[in-house]
């Protein structure tokens, strides 16, 4: 039904990828691997989405990266269609207008993966995921978690992404204390561009 409405299975897959991963950017071969479509079809639909203004692109390290345009005038209604049903209501006007503002999007698959780690209060992708090295880390996890499970989670992500990932884990009390004393690392994390997977206490919006 959705494919018929939007005219292309590849286009629908792209929209789901981008709207499920705000603030994340992808290069063409990474996209083809994630949505399992032919590269020529992907290139054609990326050009269409760029032309409309739904996505943006820029070049880094001789690669063209694409990400969803949160300033696009129809961003909110498109997220109603392609974003996660439970989480999309958390997308605020500020998050849509400001590129660096975190947007909480947690797919069912991500929920399952994170729940396996323990009681995760806060989790986000940054660094290499968003091409913003301000934080100096790629994965942040806050909560009472099993460190062996976290290590396996990161190893699997590294396999999927095809690169080494830096991660850090805090208890909720440690994270709040570091926020209180304006710890430099935490301040950099809060300022950086990120994809928020879960933020139960709302700490990343403070």
At residue 160, the pLDDT reads 87
Pick 2-75's CATH classification: 1.10.10.10, 1.25.40.10, 3.40.50.300, 1.20.810.10.
1.10.10.10
Domains 2-75 and 106-205 share a fold: no
User: In this predicted model, what pLDDT tens digit does every residue of 31-56 receive, in sequence order?
Assistant: 999 999 999 999 999 999 999 999 99
pLDDT at 100: 43
pLDDT-wise least confident of 23-32, 96-105, 169-178, 188-197: 96-105
Model pLDDT, residue 64: 93
CATH number of this structure's domain 106-205, picked from the four choices 1.20.950, 1.10.260, 3.40.1350, 3.30.460: 3.30.460
pTM recorded for the entire structure: 0.73
Report the chain's terminal Cα–Cα distance, integer Å. Answer: 40
Neighbours of 44 (CB within 10 A): 13
Rounded distance between C-alpha atoms, residue 196 and residue 198, angstroms: 6
**SS3 label, residue 120:** strand
Contacts of 144 (CB under 8 A, 6+ apart): 118, 119, 171, 172
Which pLDDT score is estimated for 111? 52
pLDDT at 110: 55
- pLDDT computed for residue 32 by the predictor: 94
- Give the model's pLDDT for residue 38: 93
- Is 4 a residue whose pLDDT tops 90? no
pLDDT the model gives residue 158: 93
SS (H, E, C) 10-54: HHHHHHHHHHHCCCCCEEHHHHHHHHCCCHHHHHHHHHHHHHHCC
pLDDT of residue 37: 93
Helix (H) or strand (E) holding 114: helix 108-115
- The pLDDT tens digits for 166-180 are 999 999 999 999 999
pLDDT of residue 106 exceeding 50, the answer is no
| Domain extent listing, the chain | 2-75, 106-205
């Amino acid at each position: 039904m959705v494919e018929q409405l939007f005219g292309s299975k590849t286009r629908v897959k792209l929209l789901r990828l981008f709207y499920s991963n705000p603030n994340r950017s992808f290069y063409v071969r990474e996209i083809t691997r994630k949505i399992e479509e032919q590269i020529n079809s992907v290139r054609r639909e990326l050009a269409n989405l760029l032309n409309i203004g739904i996505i943006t692109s820029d070049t880094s390290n001789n690669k063209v990266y694409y990400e969803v345009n949160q300033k696009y005038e129809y961003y909110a209604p498109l997220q109603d269609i392609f974003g996660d049903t439970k989480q999309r209501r958390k997308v605020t006007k500020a998050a849509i207008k400001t590129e660096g503002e975190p947007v909480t999007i947690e797919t069912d698959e991500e929920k399952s993966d994170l729940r396996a780690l323990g009681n995760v209060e806060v989790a986000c992708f940054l660094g290499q995921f968003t091409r913003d090295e301000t934080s100096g880390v790629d994965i942040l996890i806050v909560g009472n978690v099993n460190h062996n499970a976290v290590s396996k989670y990161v190893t699997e992500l590294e396999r999927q992404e095809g690169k080494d990932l830096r991660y850090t884990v805090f208890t909720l009390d440690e994270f709040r204390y570091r926020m209180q004393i304006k710890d430099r690392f935490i301040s950099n994390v809060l300022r950086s561009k990120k994809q928020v997977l879960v933020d139960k206490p709302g700490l990343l919006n403070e």
